[in-house]
Structure 1
Amino acid sequence: MVRVVLVVAASVLLSGCGGAVRVDPPAPRGATATACATLNGRLPKILDGAERVPSEPPSPYVAVWGEAEIALRCGVPRPAAMDPLQQLPEINGVAWFADPVRPALFTAITRDGYVEVTISRRHETTGVLADLAAPIKAAFPA
């Protein structure tokens, strides 16, 4: 997971180069893979003013907006730093774990899987997470 954050961060630094943004895709299985594929089709084309761009390699489990300003990976493992009994804040009905070590990394916690979102400082975190809540809830019904 650290490698993905570093890859996304490097992509931000190299964003002037254009083209697809490199993000390592997760490999979800079963119901999680199905929900992630559904989520991909429901994600907005524009998120907090940033347009969706291709990722490299192409994956139904990855979405990127802007020049790696916002990156989403669906079907990631449970965050290692998350206490399973921890009370998490909800935004529009979706519980979000904020990584205590990497303040730009948030993970939506659903019954059938985890959706990781990295948000650059250029964007308002609560607004981005709020905009992602409806598609996540639709793809991962309670």
Structure 2
Amino acid sequence: MTSSRRRPFCLSAAAVVLVAAAGCSSTDAAATIAVPSPPPEEASLCSALHRELPKSVAGQDREDPEPASELTAGWGDAAIVLRCGVPRPEKMSDPQAKSVEADGVNWLLEEDPEGPRFTTTYRKTYVEVTLGKQYAHDATPLAELADAVKKTVPASL
């Protein structure tokens, strides 16, 4: 009789563990981000960029965020997120702002505790790439996106 009382308890404890584990899963839904709303001529550049983006970046497979849009893209469950047609960052007016160059594309760097954010400079529309903390000192994602940016978003020098 004692064993029959323990069995339901053990099963409910196992069920609680499974439910808790399922609730902590990071693959339940795609990341959600704000979709930019650029003018039509910039949106057409973003649409062209969207078609040229790689299927993987820095070893991360393409996993676009929600809501689905030609203005956004993602790789690796929000480890790398691209938004095209974003407004000009205020930080670009700062003469002390940090920037980097990756394979011919210049990027403004904005540091954040969650990971760095980069925005293209000298292009006909602004392309923003937010990276997870694991890429804080790694320009590989920017270099892998550079060809698509150069091909579809003309320089504005």
TM-score (norm 2): 0.73
Q: Which residue type is aligned with residue 55 of structure 2?
A: K
Q: Which residue type is aligned with residue 121 of structure 1?
A: K
CA distance in 2, matches of 1:94, 1:111: 9
Q: Which residue type is aligned with residue 126 of structure 1?
A: A
The structure number with the bigger radius of gyration is 2
Q: Does 1:53 align with 2:63?
A: yes
Aligned equivalent of 2:133: 121
User: 1:140 offset after TM fit, Å?
Assistant: 1.0
Aligned residues with identical type, % of pairs: 37
CA distance in 1, matches of 2:128, 2:92: 13
Q: Supply the RMSD in Å over aligned alpha carbons.
A: 2.1
Q: Which has the higher helix share?
A: 2
Distance 1:88 1:98, change over 3 A: closer
Does the residue aligned with 1:35 lie in a helix, a strand or coil? helix
Q: How many residues align?
A: 129
Q: Does 1:38 align with 2:51?
A: no
User: 1:55 offset after TM fit, Å?
Assistant: 1.7
Structure 1, gaps ≥5 residues long:
1-13
Aligned equivalent of 2:86: 76
Structure 2, gaps ≥5 residues long:
1-23
CA distance in 1, matches of 2:40, 2:25: 34
Cα deviation code 1:109-139 (max 9, x no counterpart):
2431111101112336311111111100101
Aligned equivalent of 1:95: 106
Aligned equivalent of 1:131: 144
Q: Which has the higher strand share?
A: 1
User: 1:84 offset after TM fit, Å?
Assistant: 6.8
Does the residue aligned with 1:89 lie in a helix, a strand or coil? strand
Q: Does 1:18 align with 2:28?
A: yes
CA distance in 2, matches of 1:113, 1:87: 19
